Structure 1
Amino acid sequence: MKVVILPDSFKESLSASEVAKAIYKGFYSVFPNAEYHLIPLADGGEGTLQALIASNGGKVESIEVTGPLYETVQAKIAFSKDHKTAFIEMAEACGLHLVSLERRNPLQTTSFGVGELIIYAIEQGVSELIIGVGGSSTNDGGIGMATALGYQFFDENGNAIESNGEALLKVVSMSDKNKSPLLDKVNITIAADVINPLTGTNGSTYLFGPQKGLSTDRLAEVDQAMRSFYSIAERFLDKSVSEIPGSGAGGGMGAGLMLFANATIKKGIELVLEQLNVKEVCKDADIVIVGEGRMDGQTAFGKAPVGAAKCAPPDAKVIAICGSIGDGIEELSNHGIDAIFPTIPSIVPIEKVLENAFENIERTARNIAILLK
């Protein structure tokens, strides 16, 4: 029996690699003679850098950049073995994990550090740059990143604006006269973890703002500010990006990279699956196990479990293991997933759930294996 284990991370508790090990441990206790393949995945969000660099044997560096609350943070950046390609994960510079629960507010966070990572990569001589956009604490439309690249944004009095989410409420004009010429030396590909548009009820603010700390009574105001900002920027640069699928990824970073850095966009999970040759590994699998921390109706929109499920052969069982489930979960049966098993065992504080994530996943995997046996 061949078992392929293809999980994404369980955010704020376990990396994709740790999740894969927990699933393997549970299954191995029941099926010790099975053939196992553990391939940790990412979909453009947290863990993308580690997943991509694993495919080519490159190296990882850590540099100081501006964090989401303007503090200095250490952010990882990876380079391919031939040093022609760099891999950046925006969450390294402005991820949700870098902001404590009580300080989460996307009006106050910035993506400036992402722009610093981009400049650093180009200065190292790369010609290709892959950027995972997801897992961010920001909803600034990429204005922070653009500012780091040399763009300037001004309020109604002609004053330069601080480059955070709140800036979107104030921008009336911009300039690109100081834009870094280094941008002309690199091709940038976005690995997006969602396919949502930039604005509207399916856009970055309404769907992801609340989990980043935005109060629901400000959703309409901030969404309109994002729309207004892009109306100004698209008109100035004579380019339209806000309706492109994935433009809402990373709090609008998808749109920001396309508009300000001339990037192209691709579903993050498709890019990762291609780099890791997952379809070839799965071609004769009997069981394919996918998963992420929370699965709901949004999982169908470009997330890792659905992308990985598509790699399974028609006669394989595709099983999902997740921390919790939400509304719309039934839709996933139409995307190749046969059954979904949440791992939370009882009503306990979230801190306890995160602390025991490995054991919860291992136990769930073992029970699934016993059922299959």
Structure 2
Amino acid sequence: MTILLAPDKFKGSLSVAQVCQALAEGIGRCYLDADIIQCPLADGGDGSLDVLAQYLDLDTVNVLVADPLGRPLQANYRRAGTTAYVELAAASGLVLLGAQERSAMDTSTLGTGQLIAHALDHGVKEVYLFIGGSATNDGGMGIAQALGYRFLDNKGQPLAPIGRNLSAVAGIDRSRIHPRLQEVYIKVVGDVDNPFYGPRGAAYVYAPQKGATAAEVSLLDQGLQHFAEQLMANGYPDIRTLAGAGAAGGVGGGTVALLSAELVSGTQTFMELSQLTRHIQAADLVITGEGKLDAQTQQGKLISGVCALAREHRKPVIGVCGAAEAGVAEALGLAAIFTILERSSSVEEAMNMAYPKLVEIGQSIKW
């Protein structure tokens, strides 16, 4: 019997590698002769580079950069040949800030741009930028500034590339852009489809979790609209309604306009890298899941994508998760669903004991 493990991470408790390991450990105790294939997945969010390392031979490059608040930070990106893989969360992530430090108004993606600039300085020809987990709402100004752009106020003075200055941009100076920027192909990887601004835009949907008050959310949204208009006025592409432009506080749109980047699907990227279709074709049973299976899972692309692909090849799918909303198993077409919470006395226990509980679930799966 061939069993395919194709989950996402359990956010806040287990990495995707740990999820695979725990399930394999439990299943291996019941199905002694089973061929267990581990196929960890990601959607372009934080943790993507660790998953990428499962499929590619990558070198780690350490660089001293600025953190989201401009403080020195030792961060890294990965490299294979002339391709660099940069995770925005490594230099500009919410995980780098304490709860009291979160400020969508005053944070910047400058450090992420410094990682990209270092890669360009060292001869890369292609950059993959994974954009989940940002602490920022700067429209990508920080990244662009690290690559030589300057954003000017109405007096021609340079502005700090932070969220509160989006509405003050009156000019864009590209006279000092990185000499290799036009030679490099940049792919921005993620599965967010939010527009640059508006009710579903970067500020209203994501800025509150980055420390923004209701009043600041409104200011940031106005700033993103103004910035998009300034980009157009200076001859850059119209990103106002571009799907995915609002990803990572506007990094999606900013990089498309200023760096000629291409937005690509994180789910599709990892499905191709992992050769998921081939593994599903070879499997008798597919097991997938994430921290919580809910309506957002159905709207998302990773877990629903695994289920759809398995359904296409007529393979049964079992879901595993920390918790699940009613009706999600039927909506995803799961043959069965197992949750950690139903084996725990509290949410806290479910989070703290996620690994051994997943081993138990692996043992209890019968097919």
Q: Say yes or no: TM over 0.5.
A: yes
Match of 2:78 in 1: 78
- Partner of 1:251: helix, strand, or coil? helix
Q: Call closer, same or farther: CA 1:35–1:109 in 2, change over 3 Å.
A: same
Q: Call closer, same or farther: CA 1:321–1:209 in 2, change over 3 Å.
A: farther
* Contact 2:150–2:173 under 8 Å retained in 1: yes
User: Which amino acid is the alignment partner of residue 175 of structure 1?
Assistant: D
* 1:210-267 CA-partner distances (Å, limit 9, x unpaired): 2222234533332222121111123313311232222222222111211111011111
Match of 2:21 in 1: 21
User: Which amino acid is the alignment partner of residue 148 of structure 2?
Assistant: G
* Contact 1:2–1:284 under 8 Å retained in 2: yes
* Contact 1:96–1:137 under 8 Å retained in 2: yes
Match of 1:124 in 2: 122
Match of 1:268 in 2: 266
Match of 1:163 in 2: 161
Instruction: Give 1:363's match in structure 2, choosing from 356, 360, 364.
Output: 360
CA distance in 2, matches of 1:291, 1:14: 12
Deviation at 1:283, TM superposition (A): 0.9
- Partner of 1:29: helix, strand, or coil? helix
CA distance in 2, matches of 1:33, 1:147: 56
Matches within 5 A, 1:144-223: 144-223=142-221
- Structure 1 stretch 223-232 or stretch 48-57: which is displaced more? 48-57
CA distance in 1, matches of 2:176, 2:333: 49
* Contact 2:194–2:245 under 8 Å retained in 1: yes
User: Which amino acid is the alignment partner of residue 211 of structure 1?
Assistant: Q
- Partner of 1:7: helix, strand, or coil? coil
CA distance in 2, matches of 1:340, 1:105: 38
CA distance in 1, matches of 2:102, 2:53: 30
Unpaired segments ≥5 residues, structure 2? none
Q: Call closer, same or farther: CA 1:176–1:339 in 2, change over 3 Å.
A: farther
Unpaired segments ≥5 residues, structure 1? none
Match of 1:40 in 2: 40
* 1:116-138 CA-partner distances (Å, limit 9, x unpaired): 11111112212111111112111
Match of 1:3 in 2: 3
Matches within 5 A, 1:47-62: 47-62=47-62
Deviation at 1:285, TM superposition (A): 1.8
Match of 2:66 in 1: 66
CA RMSD of aligned residues (A): 2.4
Deviation at 1:194, TM superposition (A): 1.6
* Contact 2:106–2:164 under 8 Å retained in 1: yes
- Partner of 1:198: helix, strand, or coil? coil
CA distance in 1, matches of 2:184, 2:149: 17
Query: Paired residues, what number?
Result: 364
Deviation at 1:341, TM superposition (A): 4.2
CA distance in 2, matches of 1:76, 1:294: 30
Larger Rg: 2
Deviation at 1:324, TM superposition (A): 4.0
User: Which amino acid is the alignment partner of residue 353 of structure 2?
Assistant: N
- Structure 1 stretch 315-324 or stretch 138-147: which is displaced more? 315-324
* 1:92-135 CA-partner distances (Å, limit 9, x unpaired): 11122111223222222211111111111112212111111112
Matches within 5 A, 1:239-254: 239-254=237-252
Match of 1:229 in 2: 227
CA distance in 1, matches of 2:329, 2:347: 27
Same amino acid, percent of matched pairs: 32
Q: Call closer, same or farther: CA 1:365–1:164 in 2, change over 3 Å.
A: farther
- Partner of 2:106: helix, strand, or coil? coil
CA distance in 2, matches of 1:104, 1:360: 33
Match of 1:298 in 2: 296
CA distance in 1, matches of 2:345, 2:350: 9
Deviation at 1:339, TM superposition (A): 5.0
- Partner of 1:129: helix, strand, or coil? strand
Q: Call closer, same or farther: CA 1:267–1:302 in 2, change over 3 Å.
A: farther
Q: Call closer, same or farther: CA 1:32–1:62 in 2, change over 3 Å.
A: farther
